[in-house]
Amino acid sequence: MKIELIKKELDSNGFAVCHDFLQGQALIDLQTRCDGLLDNTLDSDYKFGKSLRIRNLEENRITNPAISAAFESEILENIKDKAFPDGCGFTEIFITHEFTDEEGLARNGYLHFDRIWTFKYFYYLTDVKNSSDGPLRVVPKSHHLGVRMRSSQVGKPYELQKNRIRIDYPEIYKSIKDEMTPIFGNAGTLIIFDTDTFHMGGIVSNNGERKICRLHMRK
Ligand SMILES: [Fe+2]
């Protein structure tokens, strides 16, 4: 997928899907390192399985170069520069393995926008081919509305900021629920999105599972 097309889709839809963006050895290296880190982690309190926060991009260049490299290709640097013309001051990497739906809903299991605006590079590490694999779901073009909903609450305490569409904005939910679009893709598929775009994900079912690795970026 060409850089210009990705940028156009981000502006227009709030997200862009780059199928099979990472392939071959680079993908194997990313999967192997993430699996190693997940295996060495005790169960967390993440309701859908395991979730790890492994610090920022810079530190991972030393501790997990296979992971940082997946986020620092020329294309991704170029897109990041466009999203952060004044520089990206904050990065954080997460790895999650979703394999259960028996613990109730985590916050990302509701359609929402993030209360703190974040730009994300989001890799599928396993094939996500069916609804049971917990695909990321997005509402195309909702970032135009999301930015206004988020901005109108700036200054309120974090926990009082309303961001769950179905619960906090039922009228809006009714009008957009049919536009919710699951994103399917092979391991190595990269989803780039702006978190003002309504999104949800990680709800696996029928023994499905999903592993992802994502980079969060903020100003
Ligand atoms: Fe989110």
pLDDT tens digits, 62-80: 999 999 999 999 999 999 9
Write down the pLDDT at residue 203: 83
Predicted local confidence at residue 160, as pLDDT: 95
> Ligand 1 centroid vs 198 CA: distance in angstroms?
8
Distance, CA 63 to ligand 1 centroid (Å)? 26
The domain defined by 3-218 carries CATH number 3.30.70.890: no
Give exposure, 73-99, as e/b (b: 16+ Cβ within 10 Å).
eeebeebbeeeeeeebeebbbebbbbb
Q: At residue 128, does pLDDT exceed 90?
A: yes
Flag whether pLDDT at 103 surpasses 70: no
Looking at the predicted structure, is the pLDDT value of residue 158 above 70? Answer: yes
Residue 107: per-residue pLDDT: 64
What's the predicted TM-score (pTM) here?
0.94
Task: Give residue 108 CA to ligand 1 midpoint distance, Å.
Answer: 5
CA of 70 to the centre of ligand 1 (A): 21
pLDDT of residue 206: 85
d(CA 33, CA 39): 10
Ion ligand 1: residues, CB within 5 A, are 114
Whole-angstrom distance, CA of residue 171 vs CA of residue 192: 28
**How far is residue 185's CA from residue 194's CA, in Å, rounded to a whole number?**
19
- Ligand 1 centroid–CA 163 distance in Å is 9
Distance 114 CA to ligand 1 centre (A): 5
Res 44 pLDDT > 70: no
Token pair of 171 as six digits: 């009228």
Token pair belonging to 139 = 């509402």
3-state secondary structure of 16: strand
Helix (H) or strand (E) holding 191: strand 190-194
Domain boundaries, the chain: 3-218
Tokens representing residue 119 in the block: 């730009």
